[in-house]
Every structure is written in C-alpha cells, then in structure tokens.
Amino acid sequence: MAVADFYEILQVHPRADTAAIEAAYRRLADLYDPDRLAGAAEELVLIAREKRAAIDQAYAVLSDPLERAAYDRQRIESTLAATSTATTSDARLNDTDPTEALSAATPADPAGEQITTRATTTPDADAAVEPIYDYRPLPPAQSTERARGFNTHPTLQPSAAYQRATVSLVAIIVAVGVLLPALAFGSLLTSIGSLQPPAATATPSPLDQFEVLLAQARLAVEQQPDNAQAWVDYANLLYDSAQIVREQAPESVLYQQRLPRWLEAIAAYRRALELVPDDARIRGEIGASACFYGIGVGDLRYIEEGLNELQQATAAIPDDVRMLLNIGHCRVNVQPPQIDAAIRDWQQVITIAPGSPFAIEAQRLIDEYRAR
C-alpha cells in the first residue's frame, strides 16, 4: 500500500472514536518517547524517533475530524483498488457503506486481517469471532512487577487453530471416570446413610417371617378399625409371630421380647370379638394367648383366665384340634396341674385327626407328661 495505515500505527480500530485515538496516542507516544531512551544505543534511539514521528503524523491526521474523513475516503479507495485487482469486483460493496464493507470483505488485505484479529477483544466483535484464549498459566512473576504492556489475556493465533472438540475417546474416559466413582459413592452413601432400606429387601430369619405382614396388617386395622376380619388377621399374625418363636426357641431372649405380642394379640382378638360377639374360635385364641403369656411370664392369673376362656370355647366347638392342644398346655400349667385332663384332651386330638401334625404333637406331649 502506498500510504501507511495510520490506524495500524496507532493500534486502534478504524471506527474508534476520538477519545480512544487520543488515549492510544498518549500511550504510544509515551512508550516511544526518545527521552526515555537516554543513554541507550544510538540505533535504538533512532528507531524510536522514527516510530514516534510516524505516531505523531498519524495522530495529527486522525485527531482532526476533517483530515480524518479525507484520509478515510482515500484509504477505502486504495483498499477497493487492492481488492478489485485481487478478486473480481463484488457487487455487494457498491450499495453498502464503504466503512462497513471494509472490515467485512477485505480478508486479503493485510491491514484488514490485522483488524479482525485484534477485534476479537472488542465487545462488538465478540459474537462474530470467539477468541481462542491461551489458557496456560502466565509466566512466573518472581516477585517483580509485570512489565507495563504485559497482556494478561493472551490469545492463540487462529492459524494455530485447533478443531473444536467433538465427542471422542477423551470425553468418554472423562465421563466414565467421573460418573462411576460418583455413582459408587452415591449408592454407598444411600445404603449406609441414616435410612434403613425397606425391610422386604433384607433376608428375614424364619422367626421374623411374619414381621412384614404384621406391619401391613397393623396399617389395615388402622385404616378400617371396624373390619372384624382385619382385626382377626392382625391378631392371628401377632399370635403366629409369637408362637413361632415359642415353638422353636422358647428359651431365647427373642421370645422374652416377643412375650408382649400375646397381650397385643389378646387386645386385637377382643376388638374382633366386640365386632363379632359370640365367636367361639376367637374366644379360643384369646384363651390360648392368655395361657401362653401366663406361662411365659409365670403369672397364674393369666393361665387361669385363659383356661376359662378356652373351656367356654371348647364347649361351643368341641372338636377343634388346635384348641384342644392349647387347652392341654393350659391345664398342665395351672396350680394344681390338671395333667390327667390335659392328656385326655390330647388323646382326643389323636382320635379326631389321626396322623396329622397335631396328632404327632399331641402324642409327643402325652409321652412327655406321662414320663413325669
């Protein structure tokens, strides 16, 4: 180009306003002030002088609005001439504002390229070209002040362009490497955390097999307190949950803990009995529960009460084997023990249901008490 680009000399945008131009001039004039180089090599001083002279000239033109307008016209003409020799003339240029066109359509022009690269730091060009920042740490300062023109926001040259990362192996490695430990950690936390996992997932011991059903039954009776069947089911579960421990581990601590279940069962059966009066079977269960509770805690009154209930119940239903088995348990534990009557009841069980588990149990009990 014939004319030096004043904007390039002052390192400002061609559309920069007067204030920006003045600021840039001050900065550069100060930077290349020959006085600052007093004592430096002759060549350096000479270069600074030349540079300073160019800066002064550029500022003299650009600071005067009239001269600047004239210069702008001249600059665009020369640029257009340069582009038209390089490429075929672009029709679009004719009907747009020449200054606008300058930055848009002059990639071949070295000055234009300079502008677009520098424009990456200006906000209005932000959206057009995203700068490629140099993300590496700055060089060590080593306890000394950074140099005056030190750029704390270095960018990479677009020529050293890197391709935008696509989903690649690195991504998968990073994602998996982060997700897996996070998932493992999360699941670990949730499993050891304050909450208990629902009891259904735990493997229940055979003695605890009724616990889940029991809780559901309890809810059922809370939701429908007038349903006799719900109360009976609930009471039966209470009964069974205590009975299974009594049969399999009568000396265990667990049975001691389960003893109050008998009382809960009695209360639940009584609720059912209120709703369905005169049900002998329920009365029989009450009796059995009272007996077992009395035996468990060694309270004769409960045993006697249970025996009483059971006698009423067997009077109504004389051939219920379970009831007969239970009444025998009561009889051998009252004071004084009615062992003969108990054995008679158990023998009846054998005659009613020979070969059944009840009969086997009855035979075992008869043998046990005969031996005493």
Q: Which long-range contacts (CB under 8 A, 24 or more apart) does 25-32 make?
A: 25/55, 25/58, 25/59, 25/63, 28/55, 29/55, 29/56, 29/59, 31/148, 31/149
Q: Specify burial of residue 236 (Cβ count, 10 A radius: 0-12, 13-18, 19+).
A: buried
Q: Which amino acid is at 35?
A: D
Give the count of residues interacting with other proteins (CB under 8 A): 63
Q: Is 114 in the site for other proteins (CB under 8 A)?
A: no
CA distance 243 to 186: 41
Q: In the bound complex, what is the minimum distance in angstroms from residue 190's beta carbon to other proteins?
A: 6
Tokens standing for residue 357: 């588990």
* The only residue of 66, 97, 148, 162 in contact with other proteins, by rule CB under 8 A: 162
186 binds other proteins (CB under 8 A): yes
129: contact with other proteins by CB under 8 A: no
Residue in 155, 99, 101 with CA at minimum distance from that of residue 129: 155
Name 12's Cβ contacts closer than 8 Å, sequence gap at least 6. Answer: 20, 21, 24
For residue 133, what are the β-bridge partners? 155
Can residue 301 be called a binding residue for other proteins (CB under 8 A)? no
| Contact call for residue 146 and other proteins (CB under 8 A) | yes
Q: Which of 159, 168, 205, 335 binds other proteins (CB under 8 A)?
A: 168
170 binds other proteins (CB under 8 A): yes
Q: Which of 8, 23, 51, 341 binds other proteins (CB under 8 A)?
A: 23
Q: Judged by CB under 8 A, does residue 154 bind other proteins?
A: yes
Tell me how far apart the alpha carbons of residues 314 and 45 are, in angstroms, rounded to a whole number.
Answer: 127
**One of 65, 135, 206, 301 touching other proteins (CB under 8 A):** 135
- Residues engaged in binding other proteins (CB under 8 A): 10-13, 16, 19-21, 23-24, 27, 118, 121-123, 126, 131, 133-146, 152-154, 162, 164-165, 168, 170-171, 174-175, 177-179, 182-183, 186, 189-190, 193-196, 198-200, 211-212, 215-216, 218-219
